[in-house]
Chain A
Amino acid sequence: MEFAKAPGLTKRWGEFAIETIIRVLGLSSIGFVVMIFLFLLREGLPTFWEIPLNNLLGTRWYPTFDYFGAVPLVLGSVLVTLLAIVIALPLGLATAVFVREIAPPWAREILKPVIEVLAGIPSVVLGFFGMTLVAPLVREVLGAPTGLTAFTGALLLAYMALPTMISVAEDALDTVPKSYRDAGLSMGATQWQTIWRVVVPAARSGVVTAVMLGMGRAIGETMAVMMVTGNAARLPLSLDSLFRPVRTMTATIAAEMGEVAQGSTHYHALFGLGIILFALTFVINLAAAATIFKKRRRGGLR
């Protein structure tokens, strides 16, 4: 360390101050997460002793009448999110493969920024689009009683998760060494075979990360989901539930928080939902991080 040997107290102090400031700023984001978590716990934990467990694990969510069955809401969020990923994964992966492996450079230069612009569309605009255009289409084409369904929500969520998934998956494909492709092609594999059998499997952990990040994006989305899923707190267990309304945790919090009396059981219950949501996102992010670390340990591809 050269600067450590440098003489002069002022320089050392300046260096020290700057280093400290940067460090504190960097660590403050961790501090904020901790504070948010503490706040969530403070407001949400009372849920779990104010409301009897059999009520909380019930299937009826009528907060105005002290029924706080959160199961339909949790399942609603999970259903919409999983469905969104099932829709988005093939599209996202195919787009990433196309942009990285197949598209000529000029097309790539156009596609990449366009995909990033997609991420910038406000979700309320997408929600309005979904409510007025996608929902009637879902009702007429699929013959569901109403177009405001889990499927409609999942379609919009898939669209919203796509930019994230494409960027991350494309980065993952980018890290696959050129030698892999050359080896595949020189062994007589077609371009398709090389991509599908060599490049994509080699980037597998990055693709998993893309899915996880897309899921994190989807499960926390609120506005568009609230506008197109119908918000009926029914238990989505039967097969036709995909094409029936659901109520997600995020939509519930957004719709009810504005009217709730501060400090009431209902208020705590909404923060309780927040804790569940936080825990779910945390697990998803942890899973994403785990695949990244595994990849790094394995070493090979980075």
Chain B
Amino acid sequence: MSLAPAKRATSPFPWRNLVLALTLVGLAAWALVGLFSDEGETTAGAAPAAQTIQNKGSDTLVNLALAWAETYMALHPEVRVSVTGGGSGTGIASLINGTVDIANASRAIKAEERAAAQANGITPVEVTVALDAIAVVVHPSNPVEGLTLPQLSAIYTGQITNWRQVGGEDRPIVLLSRESNSGTYVYFLENVIRLGQKSDLLFHPDTLLMPSSEGISAEVRQNPNAIGYDGLGYVTPDQKMLGVAVDSASRYVLPSVETVNDGSYPVSRPLFMYTTDRPSAAIQAFLSWVLADGQAQVIELGFVPLK
């Protein structure tokens, strides 16, 4: 390492330090102004062209939204639909900021998000576009065939820690979950761990939080101790889905298009698209197409179409 101190030369310019100081002060002032002024997202002037639909949000919905966008653009070449993921919260936040036209969400909008939108002069309008079921998955070699919701709750809160306790092999249970910002996480917590009731139950601290669906399937594929959950659309054939029963008296039901549509599979939810209360004609046309012809593609992607 060459760390020899630089030779200091005495400068022939007496005002050098003054100029230097001024430059630094200028830089600092610029920084302070930048930092402490209200830097709102610049939305003015970035308004999308009339026929472009910006669509952003839930990672659960992103593949479906992409498929819809592709088909719709093939049918209507004059319209451009651009789709990005990022999560339900990101999509709704962008809708609030006015940077997207449609926000995809795998959960209903929160009251504070609605309030933030109102403050920005936007009233979000909710459209249910498809149904999703959350499948509970284990390694294919796991002999357990089904679990009740109370059992799942006990497993994910750390009261049941061995597969033997639910009729499996003598193996520790490794809990897998999506990250806490995923809509799937909140849904699973409220409807499975808390059994739809008000309570303070939380995921056990040992729960592995996987940043992606791929993270969950990779670990479930190779680890016979693992249990995970994810949207039905993301379950690959090399994972084993478990039947879920409401309680020990009721029947175990495997998730499928039929069982979600007839309401017998207990862990399912609606998927939403949010628009403003003043959507353009192009957005309205796209949404009505999604609710009609678009439903045919829902099954292909593993989700459950609306009836």
Contact = CB atoms under 8 A, between A and B. Distances in A.
Contacts of A207: none
Contact of B31 (A19, A31, A59, A245): A31
Contacts of A34: 28, 31
Interface in A1-56: 1, 3-4, 12, 16, 19-20, 23-24, 27-28, 31, 34-35, 38-39, 42
A285 interface: no
Contacts of A125: none
B132 interface: no
B219 A148 contact: yes
Contact of A260 (B172, B181, B208, B211): B181
Interface in B190-232: 202-203, 205-211, 215, 218-219, 222-223, 225-226
A136 B11 CA distance: 63
Contacts of B208: 146, 148, 230-232, 245
Nearest to A20: B19
A264 to B, nearest CB: 9
B179 A168 contact: no
A136 B220 CA distance: 11
B219 A255 contact: no
Contacts of A268: none
Contacts of A131: 215, 218
B93 A256 contact: no
A172 interface: yes
Nearest to B41: A262
A171 interface: yes
Q: Give the interface centre of A131, A171, A261 by most chain B CB atoms within 10 Å.
A: A261
B20 A232 contact: no
Contact of B209 (A67, A136, A168, A232): A232
Given A62-B202, A146-B174, A255-B209, A20 B20 contact: yes
B39 to A, nearest CB: 10
B180 interface: yes
Contacts of B1: 168, 171-172, 175, 206, 209, 292
A163 B224 CA distance: 36
A292 B5 CA distance: 12
Interface in A61-106: 62-65, 67, 72
A287 to B, nearest CB: 16
Contacts of B27: 28, 31
Which of under 10, 10 to 19, 20 to 34, or 35 or more describes the interface residues of B? Answer: 35 or more
A60 B226 contact: no
A245 B90 CA distance: 27
B122 interface: no
B87 A259 contact: yes
Given A24-B20, A39-B35, A64-B180, 6 more contacts: A19-B13, A38-B32, A145-B174, A230-B208, A232-B206, A262-B93
Interface of B: 1, 3-4, 9-13, 16, 19-20, 23-24, 27-28, 31-32, 35-36, 86-90, 93, 112-113, 116, 171-174, 179-182, 185-186, 202-203, 205-211, 215, 218-219, 222-223, 225-226
21 contacts: A16-B13, A16-B16, A20-B19, A20-B20, A35-B35, A42-B35, A72-B205, A131-B215, A136-B223, A146-B174, A146-B225, A172-B1, A206-B1, A230-B208, A231-B209, A244-B206, A255-B211, A259-B86, A261-B116, A292-B1, A292-B3
Q: 10 closest Cβ contacts across the A-B interface?
A: A259-B181, A4-B12, A230-B208, A259-B89, A231-B209, A145-B172, A234-B205, A146-B174, A35-B31, A259-B87
Interface of A: 1, 3-4, 12, 16, 19-20, 23-24, 27-28, 31, 34-35, 38-39, 42, 59-60, 62-65, 67, 72, 131-132, 135-136, 139, 145-148, 168, 171-172, 175, 206, 209, 226-227, 230-235, 244-245, 247, 255-256, 258-262, 292, 296, 302
